Amino acid sequence: MDAYIKKITFNTFSSGISDEDWFSLGKSDAWAGKPKASPEQDSQAASMYDLGYSEGKIQHPPTETRKASQ
């Protein structure tokens, strides 16, 4: 794995949670209809959470079924 990608993906700064996990948490919260709750102490984590939350608002959760057009 490229060192830069590994650094970005597995960044754990002060929160102890990776960027990828913050992104997934934000996306999951958006799909669940929860209010946005970005971490306040870690700006990198907050950015990843916000990015995931925004993407989650745009996309449908994988478990959601859409009604077929008739």
Q: What is the pLDDT of residue 41?
A: 87
pLDDT of residue 7: 46
Single-letter amino acid code for the residue at 66: R
Is the pTM above the cut of 0.85? no
DSSP for 34-58, written as a single string: PPP---SS-HHHHHHHHHHHHHHHH
More confident residue, 50 or 6: 50
